[in-house]
A and B are shown apart, each in its own frame.
Chain A
């Protein structure tokens, strides 16, 4: 129990959670709740604004994540599945530190890096400048980038287009480039949101190998996706998120089976926002 105590003293992680059975944990989510505001689309007219005495626009609170707890370990690839609107992407953004938890907390061994789909960094700038900006923002140094630049571009397969503005890239090319940037610095914790769905077969193979590499370097990979087949192949563990809560957490085949069955049985959709 000395281990748990030491960790609690250092980081105020709930005791007993940081290490279990001698495995090294990378992420600990402790009763994470995320609620955010969605402003109504309807723009108020000037008259309404005055009538409301300049109060803020109308909004709703959306409880996207409602109490998620789990712990991940070195070398795991964790798939996250669930219906549209179940809170998967919000959870991922919170794990990335891009969206604060309203309640509860996330602890991690290093800053997770999020790889989202279609997040063009700077559409007007060339692919080259995007690689440099993205890598610098991730915390790489210029010398590191210079060393790894060719490898990144080569991996993304955009060598011929590297000096064209990003807006001229196809969505597949942009996603590949983004994946190459995000995975280049071999983050210990990589979060992937649907990004694998856009590449062609060849790129899927390459990215699967890169993920394998990351895992073997004692990292942890989280993947949100709807392509259950691909997830079953590449993940060692599966989280099923339903209405903002963990519905199941376990062996991929088992969780996917249960998930499929629930999709067939209950046509129940996620509650409207």
Chain B
């Protein structure tokens, strides 16, 4: 007789970690479908469409080269191929920058979905970062193209670049989780974010070779712990010098694990409350 009545599950209790992860895995097709739709919607009213994903960073390289390379002459100090140095830095920093910004919109731009359907909300920041990973593919090709045009010759070390960006994607996901929940609390954050990210960019040595500018030992050591700097150095090493550094990999892995662990926990703690203002 006991087989005839179904087991009843208590609703509204937050699932355990394992069940939560399983439910995210179950929705993996949702995570890959959302970014494709967003890309479609984003640039559908522009003539060049998704080409803008590539043109934006390339144009920025041009602007920054004009300001820092030609007018301020930053390139003279420490960076022998300044355009390549700048390109590698900008594309790498923008990977994180765009992931954070997409993450910030992940929850607030999907309120319709959240309010009508019960699904693990963590899918949304994951989808946001997946979208940036997809956009990163052609961006890397463009970056390598620019670097080749400036006279660098292909190296075996270039094969490391996808691995670096894979690790950086994990780091980005952690930040995206934090940005997604924080923006759900205070929508104002979306307005503050560009400034924070710009300050971070200036502090990360996108435009300058820090060794030529910072002389204080302690300050330099602190500067080099900055995760954005770590990822840029890994890319520059592989792309421009054909070198890589175990310490940088260790730092990058550490930052990524901490970011994704803390970010995920912070995001999940709010799971039941997304979309209820």
List residues of A whose CB falls within 8 A of some B CB: 2-3, 6-7, 10-13, 18-19, 22, 24-26, 28, 36, 39, 94-101, 105-116, 119-125, 129, 132-134, 136-139, 141-142, 178
Q: Could you tell me if A2 and B113 are in contact, using CB atoms closer than 8 angstroms?
A: no
| Candidates A96, A116, A136; contact of B30 at CB < 8 Å | A136
Q: Does B243 contact A (CB under 8 A)?
A: no
11 further A-B pairs in the complex, CB-CB below 8 A; given A109-B6, A125-B37, A125-B41:
A3-B2, A11-B10, A18-B5, A26-B6, A28-B8, A105-B11, A106-B10, A107-B11, A116-B115, A137-B113, A139-B27
Tell whether, in the assembled complex, residue B8 and residue A137 are in contact, meaning their CB atoms are under 8 Å apart. no
Is B218 close to A, CB under 8 A? no
Whether the Cβ atoms of A123 and B112 lie closer than 8 Å is yes
**Is A109's CB under 8 angstroms from B9's CB?**
yes
Which residues of chain B are near A141, meaning CB under 8 Å?
29
User: Shortest beta-carbon distance, B16 to chain A, in Å?
Assistant: 16
Q: Is the CB of B8 within 8 A of A13?
A: yes
184-210 of chain B: CB within 8 A of chain A: none
Contact B30 A98 (CB under 8 A): no
- Collect the chain B residues with CB atoms within 8 Å of residue A18's CB: 5, 8
- B40 surroundings in chain A (CB, below 8 A): 125, 129
Nearest chain B CB to A36's CB is how many angstroms away?
Answer: 7
> Which residues of the other chain, B, contact A122 by a CB distance below 8 angstroms?
37, 110, 112-113
Q: Which residues of B contact A (CB under 8 A)?
A: 1-2, 4-12, 26-27, 29-30, 33-34, 37, 40-41, 110, 112-113, 115-119, 272, 275-277
Q: Are B2's CB and A2's CB within 8 A?
A: yes
From known contacts A13-B8, A120-B112, infer whether A3 and B30 are also in contact, taking CB-CB under 8 Å.
no
* Contact between B112 and A139, CB atoms less than 8 A apart: no
What residue of chain A has the Cβ atom nearest to residue B118's Cβ? A97
Q: Is A111 in contact with B118, judged by CB distance below 8 angstroms?
A: yes
Complex CA distance for A139 and B25, rounded to whole angstroms: 11
B1 partner residues in chain A, CB cutoff 8 A: 2-3
Docked pose: A122 CA to B41 CA in angstroms = 10
CB of B1, distance to nearest CB on chain A (Å) = 5
* Interface CB pairs A-B, < 8 A, 26: A2-B1, A7-B5, A11-B8, A12-B10, A19-B5, A24-B5, A24-B6, A25-B5, A25-B8, A26-B6, A96-B118, A100-B12, A105-B12, A107-B8, A109-B6, A109-B8, A110-B9, A115-B116, A121-B116, A123-B112, A133-B33, A133-B37, A136-B30, A137-B27, A137-B117, A138-B119
Return chain B residues, CB-CB under 8 Å to A95.
11
Residue ID in chain B nearest A108 by CB atoms:
B11
CA distance A98 to B118 in the complex (A): 6
B5 contacts A100, CB within 8 Å? no
* Candidate in B30, B34, B110, B117 with the most chain A CB atoms within 10 angstroms: B117
Q: Report whether A98 and B27 are in contact in the complex, using a CB–CB cutoff of 8 Å.
A: no
CA distance A124 to B26 in the complex (A): 26
Tell me whether A133 and B30 are in contact (CB under 8 A).
Answer: yes
A36 touches B10 (CB 8 A): no
A105 touches B10 (CB 8 A): yes
Query: What is the minimal beta-carbon distance from B179 to any residue of chain A, in angstroms?
Result: 20
List chain B residues, Cβ under 8 A from A119.
112, 115-116
A96: chain B residues within 8 A (beta carbon):
118
